[in-house]
Amino acid sequence: MIDTLFFDAHTHHLPQPQTTAIVSCRMDEKTASSYLQAPFISVSLHPWYLTEENIQSQIDWLVQTIQSDSRIVALGEAGLDKVCDTPFDLQIQAFRKAIELSETYHLPLVIHSVKATEELFALHKKYHPAQAWIIHGFRGKKELATDLIRHGFYLSFGKKYQEKALSIVPADRLLLESDEADTDFPSFYRQVASLRGTSFDSLVENIKENANRLFFNR
């Protein structure tokens, strides 16, 4: 359970003061301080770093780490990216495996999605996941946010976002994150609370409730 003021749903850095954070780590980061010192981890199968040669070793590492490290509270980021150089069929193969592992080990799935919404919806329909699917770093428009929410997704917002999209997300589907950015969480929370027409304290409690339900209730 969260006992700090702020929650960071997805980051690549160690937590700031007063912040509980889930640090996303890939296999090639397993000796980095961010991985070794992180209190909570999401294990990554990122589409940018996939090759035919390393996909199986990455999957093997995911399984071994999930089974052996009690800090693991999520899987991802994983997903689909039509802009990167990784062959799309390889991305689909890896993402299907990430879905299966998410379901097997009862871990929320943190998703990196770029121009692949139709494929994402098709896979969600095919697998009918019991675990939460969370779009991290969501920057899309209100219409896409509405569509994702209708399909059961959660949305996690960082410093760059569309105001109309952030304003319409139901309170029980909302998360906030720093990702790669140097984020001042007190200011960020105040900004988001103002935009959504709620109080700072209400937003803090809302995010904590979502975080505890999704990540710390296993």
179 among annotated binding-site residues:
yes
77 among annotated binding-site residues:
yes
Which sign, positive or negative, has the C-alpha torsion 95, 97, 103, 107?
A: negative
CB 203 within 8 A of CB 189: yes
CB 10 within 8 A of CB 137: yes
- Peptide bond before 77: cis, by omega within 30 degrees of 0? yes
112 among annotated binding-site residues:
yes
List b or e across 155-192, with b for residues whose CB sees 16 or more CB atoms inside 10 angstroms: bbbbbebbeebbeebeeebbbbbbbeeebebeebbebb
| CA 79 from centroid of its chain's CA atoms | 10
| DSSP 8-state code for residue 113 | E
Binding residues for a divalent metal cation: 77, 112, 136, 179
Binding residues: 77, 112, 136, 179
